[in-house]
Amino acid sequence: MTTLADVPEDEKAFRDEFRSWNLADLSFVDIRNYLDRKDVILVPMASTEQHGPHLPLYCDTITAVEISRRVSELIGVLHTPPVWMGYSPQHMHRPGEGRGTITVRSTTLLAVIEDIGRSLIHHGFNRIIFINGHGSNVKVIDPVLRKLRYETGALISFVKPYMERYVGVVEGVFENPPEETPGWHSSEWETSQCMAWDENLVRMERAEHTPTHIPDFLPDSFRKFDGAPDVEFEGFSYFTFPMDHHEFTETGVIGNPMRATKEKGEESFRRYSEHVARGVNELMDVPVEVHTREFIDRVL
C-alpha cells in the first residue's frame, strides 16, 4: 500500500510555494510552476438538490469539495472549483413545491464536463481525476469520460466518494444496520459528513427517520427499501423503473439520520481522502501520452 507519511525535501519545498491548492486562487505563473513538476488535477463535481428537512442542498457537493481539498493537501496536487450542479431530475418534486433542487439535463452536464476537461488538457494537465459526490451522476457520465480519453489520450478517472450500497472503507464507522441504509440519501453517513463540514448547517431538530416504500404505481409484489431505482421482485433485483424521489419517501430522507455525529463524518472524510490520495499518487507514475491537446472546438 502506498504511504503518505514520507515527503521528500524537494517535494516539501515545492508544496511550500503554493498558498492554495485551488486552481482559481492562483495566477498563471503558479499554474506554470505547478505543471513544471506535476500534471494531475482533481475536479470535484456533485449536485445542488434537496436532502430532506435537516440538511443543506449543497450536501453532495460538500463531499466532493472536502475530499478534493483533503487529497490536495495530503499529496500536493491542484483541484478546480466544484461543479455544483448535477443530474438530479428525480429530486425536483412537483411544480411550486419549493424543494430547491437545481438539475441539469444529461447533455448539459456532459457538455460542461467535456469543456472543463478539454480546457485543462489544453493548458498542460495530462491526468484529470473527477471527484464525484452525487450518485445519479454515475448514470450518465461514462460517454464523456470515454470521449475525453479517446480524443486526447489523457488519463481520465472518476472517483465515487459515497457509500450507498457499498460500505467500502467506512466499514465499522456507522451504527445503522443495512436495512436502515446508513449511506443513502440524508441518512447517517451524509448527515455525519455535513456535521463535520459545518454543524450550523445541520438542523437535527428537523431530522426524521423515514423508511422507504414502493411507489403507488407499482404492485405490492415489487418491494423497495432504498434509494436505488431497482426494486425486488420474487427475491431478485432485475427490474428497474424511472421513479422520482418523492414517490418512495415523503421527507426526502432515506433511512435513519438520528445516529449521525460530527466524529463519524470526520472519520469517514479521513478514510476516503487517504484512500483516494494513495490512488492518485499511484496514477501520477502511469505513462500518459496526450496526442491532442489544443481545445480547438471551444466556441460552439
Report, as an integer, the average pLDDT of 148-163.
92
| Within-domain flag for 80 | yes
Considering the domain boundaries, does residue 114 fall inside one?
A: yes
Residue 292 belongs to some domain of the structure: no
Q: Which three cell numbers stand for residue 182?
A: 446508513
Mean of the per-residue pLDDT values of the chain: 94
pTM tops 0.85: yes
Cα Rg, the chain, nearest whole Å: 20
DSSP H helical segments within the chain, as ranges?
9-16, 28-35, 59-75, 106-123, 142-152, 188-197, 262-283
SS3 label, residue 186: coil
C-alpha cell at 117: 476537461
* 257 lies in some domain: no
Give percent above pLDDT 90 in the chain. 85
Q: Nearest Cα to 65, choosing from 80, 87, 48?
A: 80
Residue 24 has pLDDT above 70, yes or no: yes
Query: In angstroms, what CA-CA distances link 187 with 130, 155, 183, 231?
Result: 24, 34, 6, 20
Overall domain count for the chain: 1
Please answer whether residues 109 and 86 qualify as being in contact, where contact means their C-beta atoms are separated by less than 8 angstroms.
Answer: yes
Per-residue pLDDT at 179 exceeds 90: no
Averaged pLDDT for residues 229-239: 88
Any bridge partners for residue 223, and if so which?
A: 232
C-beta of residue 129 within 8 angstroms of C-beta of residue 42: yes
For residue 2, the model assigns a pLDDT of 56
pLDDT of residue 59: 97
The answer to whether 151 and 295 are in contact (CB under 8 A) is no
Residues 86-102 as b or e (16 or more Cβ within 10 Å = b): bbbebbbbeeeeeeebe
Residue 48, domain member (yes or no): yes
Give residue 177's pLDDT: 85
What does the pLDDT look like over 44-67, one tens digit per residue? 999 999 999 999 999 999 999 999
pLDDT digits (tens, 9 = 90+) for 107-151: 999 999 999 999 999 999 999 999 999 999 999 999 999 999 999
Separation CA 59–CA 70 (nearest Å):
17
Is 71 domain-assigned? yes
CB 183 within 8 A of CB 259: no
User: Which pLDDT score, from 0 to 100, does residue 166 have?
Assistant: 79
Mean pLDDT of 279-293: 97
Interval 275-290 mean pLDDT: 97
90 pLDDT more than 80: yes
Task: Answer for the pair 91, 101: CB distance below 8 angstroms, yes or no.
Answer: yes
Q: Domain range spanning residue 19?
A: 9-170+269-283
CATH classification at residue 46: 3.40.50.10310
Residue from 40, 20, 39 nearest 30 by CA: 20
How many of the other CB atoms lie within 10 Å of CB of 36? Answer: 10
The predicted structure's pLDDT at residue 228: 72
Whole-angstrom distance, CA of residue 24 vs CA of residue 37: 19
**Quick check: is 41 in a domain?**
yes
pLDDT tens-digit map of 249-262:
999 999 899 999 99
Adjacent-strand bridge partners of 127: 40, 155
d(CA 185, CA 167) in angstroms, rounded, equals: 14
User: How confident is the model at residue 191, as a pLDDT?
Assistant: 97
User: Does any domain span residue 85?
Assistant: yes
Q: What is the pLDDT of residue 3?
A: 65
* Residue listed under C-alpha cell 426494486: 231
Residue 164 has pLDDT above 80, yes or no: no
Contact 11, 284 (CB under 8 A): no
**pLDDT of 155 over the 70 cut:** yes
User: 161 falls in which pLDDT band (50, 70, 90)?
Assistant: confident
Q: Which residues of 212-237 are buried (b: 16+ CB within 10 A; e: fewer)?
A: bebeeebeeebebbbbbeebeeeeee
Give me the residues paired with residue 64 across strands: none
Alpha-carbon distance values, 65 to 7, 197, 202 (Å): 24, 10, 17
Least confident of 6-10, 101-105, 224-228, 264-268: 224-228
Q: For residue 293, what are the contacts with CB-CB under 8 A and spacing of at least 6? A: 121, 122, 124, 152
Question: What pLDDT score was predicted for residue 134?
Answer: 95
Backbone angles phi, psi at 120, to 5 degrees: -65, -40
pLDDT digits (tens, 9 = 90+) for 194-203: 999 999 999 9
